[in-house]
Amino acid sequence: MSAPAEKARAHAPAKVILAGEHAVVHGHPAVALPFPAIMAAGEARPASSGVTIRSDRYPDLAARLNLDGTEYAPTARPLQPVAEAVRGALEALTRLGGDLKPFELVLSSGIPAGAGLGSSAAIAVAAIRATFSFHGRTVPPSLLRMLATKAEAIAHGTSSGLDPTTVAAEGPIRFVRDHAPIDLEVQEPFGLVVADSGQSSGTGRMVAQVKAGIEADPARREALNTLGEVADLVAELLECGDIPALGRELSRAHDLLARLGVSTPRLDAMVRAACEAGAFGAKLSGAGGGGCAIALAPISQLGEVAQAMIEAGAVTAWPTQYLIERDAPR
């Protein structure tokens, strides 16, 4: 093992889902993108004993672990997912051999929580990467996904693994639960607006609500199945670079998600406003019940579309020319 770093910093981006949220929990495909316009970060600093984890989100709390991953004080609920992520990373590092060094891990995030942007998954991935990097190692992608997915299950209960897999990915992916993701190649930048409704939501609650809905109502089950078909089309159109057709599929996905009962009047208004302002298409992104809407727009119209979404109720909008460089440092 190479010499441990004095201090190690690592990042993970937010995520957006182009198609297939909720359907992916039930075995259908989904297509999602890391969204590096907003990031979570972890900094591991040398300490005198054990591991202490702090987060800017909960300044009064700390999680404390022994170097073998066992807790030496009960961890407060909000820090349990990230404590699980670090515990798993310590166990993996022990299996890989070499000495573990005491450290303090300080987490910070610009990703709003409860907004459908994968905030908890990004924090877990940044924490795992920082823990490995502090010990002079890079975490292998499949191990990173596995550790972050376990942490996410603590954060949200039932989780398909889509969020941690996306924020750990180097670019857009097609994902099916319990399978390795498939990388999707995007050749040209495209215009993407992500807008936060400011209404916070809970993934676990929305997943449970959809499950109850499809069990009770065959029309909802049908909508869920169609969402899976839309996701496959979205993967093809993204790789072909047919952004106008992709936009139309996004709008179709929004209507199907609304039929599943996960949209809100504000998200509907933001989606409508984006389309009226020239977007190719728009949808809610994530678990719904609040959170974000996304719009695909001509690059020349990103500003107008973002402004229209703000006027329709969004509290923040991130207009972006989306193109990810694979192999960038993380």
Interface residue list for ligand MEV (CB under 6 A):
17, 21-22, 24-25, 116, 159-160, 162-163, 203, 207, 286-287
When the beta carbons of 277 and 287 are compared against ligand MEV, the nearer one is 287
For residue 267, give both structure tokens: 């998200």
CA atoms within 13 A on the CB side of 120: 30
Please report how close the Cβ of residue 262 comes to ligand MEV at its closest, in angstroms.
8
Residue pair 127/86 in contact (Cβ under 8 Å)? The answer is yes
CA dist 90 and 67 (Å) reads 7
CA distance 195 to 54: 28
CB of 52 to ligand MEV, least distance (A): 29
CB 152, min distance to ligand MEV, A: 7
Strands 8-19 and 103-109: unpaired
DSSP assignment of 104-155, as one string? EEEEEE-SPTTSSS-HHHHHHHHHHHHHHHHTT----HHHHHHHHHHHHHHH
Q: Is 163 a catalytic residue?
A: yes
- The catalytically annotated residue of 163, 178, 217, 232 is 163
**CB 125 → ligand MEV: shortest distance, Å?**
14
Cβ closer to ligand MEV: 8 or 24? 24
Dist CA 24 CA 7 (whole Å): 38
> Which residue is at the shortest CB distance from ligand MEV?
160
Q: List all residues 6 or more positions away from 286 whose beta carbon is below 8 Å from its beta carbon.
A: 16, 17, 21, 115, 116, 117, 118, 201, 203, 292
Residue (22 or 87) nearer to ligand MEV, CB = 22
In the complex with ligand MEV, the residue whose CB is nearer, 8 or 17, is 17
For residues 260 and 274, which CB has a smaller minimum distance to ligand MEV in the complex?
A: 260
List the catalytic residues. 163
